[in-house]
Structure 1
């Protein structure tokens, strides 16, 4: 059944792409930062809204599907990468670098990402991606300071 939670959790159905749904879902974050930028009240308001929607919608879809972290749920990648771009310029090098770093960290799941997957409901689905987003932000920050 198509519900509001499923529409949000799947990133407007991008999560149903048969190959690499999380990678395609992450592209929503780039679209959003190109629209609202990466700082200011609108950026942060949207970030909080996305975070809350991601926890609730991913938890509902997981429960309905009977799976802990359904592959079609991509809103967690969207919010984590979106927040990883905080206060960075929206030029193509930063967007591409952040995208590649985030996907790598999301796949590798550095500490404590894997542990956080055991959190209940939507928190377990979203928290590991927030860690990947945090590592992405830190790496981008270091690279911008060094280069």
Structure 2
């Protein structure tokens, strides 16, 4: 189903992060990188607009990721990276917009997404469908957000 089929199906195209999830190595990292330009656009919105986009993207992600996983017959295919988009955008809530904080937020989100401390690993293993695919990255985003906010406060 990969390759050309991702480019032809709008649901799969979005779930694969506009194609960034097709990276042969570290698709989650490439998906998070692809989320940065959209994050920069989102920072132009008022806070309520940013939050609205975030909530809509998370809700839409449950459908996109679930449908794509079902079509592929794989619970959480590594190429499905819409959840990384949302997780990164959560990480970056309330953070000053500059490249230092973007890089730190990127690193923290990837750390928590890969490491999967409790309860993220449990959610990843036990919660099925699009909700499960999204929830572990939402939690990783919240963990990264908390650490990033502490760093912003200290520095």
Pick aligned residue for 1:50 from 53, 57, 63? 57
Aligned pair count? 147
For residues 43-98 of structure 1, the C-alpha deviation after alignment (integer angstroms, 9 at most, x for no partner) is 11211121012110100111111111001100000011111111111111110000
SS in 1 for 2:118: coil
The equivalent residue for 1:17 is 23
The equivalent residue for 2:143 is 135
Pick aligned residue for 1:90 from 97, 100, 105? 97
SS in 1 for 2:121: helix
Superposition misfits of 4+ residues, deviation over 6 angstroms: none
Point out where structure 1 has 5 or more consecutive residues left out of the alignment.
none
For residues 75-129 of structure 1, the C-alpha deviation after alignment (integer angstroms, 9 at most, x for no partner) is 0000111111111111111100000011111100011101112212101111111
Point out where structure 2 has 5 or more consecutive residues left out of the alignment.
none
The equivalent residue for 2:74 is 67
The equivalent residue for 1:146 is 154
Pick aligned residue for 2:38 from 26, 32, 54? 32
TM-score normalised according to structure 2 size: 0.89
Pick aligned residue for 1:8 from 5, 14, 39? 14
